[in-house]
Amino acid sequence: MPDDAPALDLLALLPEQWRAVLTPHLDPARTAALGEFVAREYATQTVFPPLEDLFSAYRLCSPQGTRVLILGQDPYHRAGQAHGLSFSVRDGVTVPPSLRNVFKELGEDVGVPKPRGGNLNGWAAQGVLLLNAVLTVRQATPGSHANAGWEEFTDATIRALDAAPERVVFLLWGGYARKKAALVTNPQHVVLEAGHPSPMNPRGFLGSRPFSAANKALADAGLPTIDWERTAG
């Protein structure tokens, strides 16, 4: 496949509501360069998620409807897993270790039975923006698209949500995600930090009770809470 693949117009691929709120926070030249990089990678490498799922998080959750943001780092890098939502996997795919810990905490925190699958479309449909800081990755090469420009794109998303008129709860898990807390400056919002659910060192995550805390923050603001048991779409 050609190295000189036509650049992707990333903003044009976004839902209109997201395009409107993200554009003021993005540098046009850098966004165009990111579009060139992403197009070249899809044309010459095996990249996840599939292009049609690149902006699934934004399609399933509007800016006005976002009540909770859960920030991941980059997509799953094995075939068949990533579908554009952080931590989530497609139906029928084995639940990855980090998501198993998320489900373990979900049960201990709010008493939700272990879900049968790892697809989190049901959370997204309720206003949980499941966003990775880096939206693409080469197969079997974690971190391969770090520092290519996605970080600015997703930082712009956090800044846009920070300007939202109603409370948003930001769930930031792990050292990488927790650095993004500095982008949330509006005191009406709530940032809940914890360790990453990775099995490498889950102690900072297990016992953090993020799901009940997020719902309390929403209820305190008079907003609908999340039915965390409804994971599937």
Give catalytic residue positions.
74
Contacts of 151 (CB under 8 A, 6+ apart): 133, 134
Q: 169: helix, coil or strand? A: strand
Give the bridge partners for 128, in sequence order: 68
Look up residue 6 and give its two tokens. 């036509």
Q: Which residues contact 168 (CB under 8 A, 6 or more apart)?
A: 66, 67, 68, 69, 161, 162, 189, 190
Instruction: Give the pairing of strands 137-138 and 128-132.
Output: unpaired
Are the CB atoms for 231 and 106 separated by under 8 Å?
Answer: no
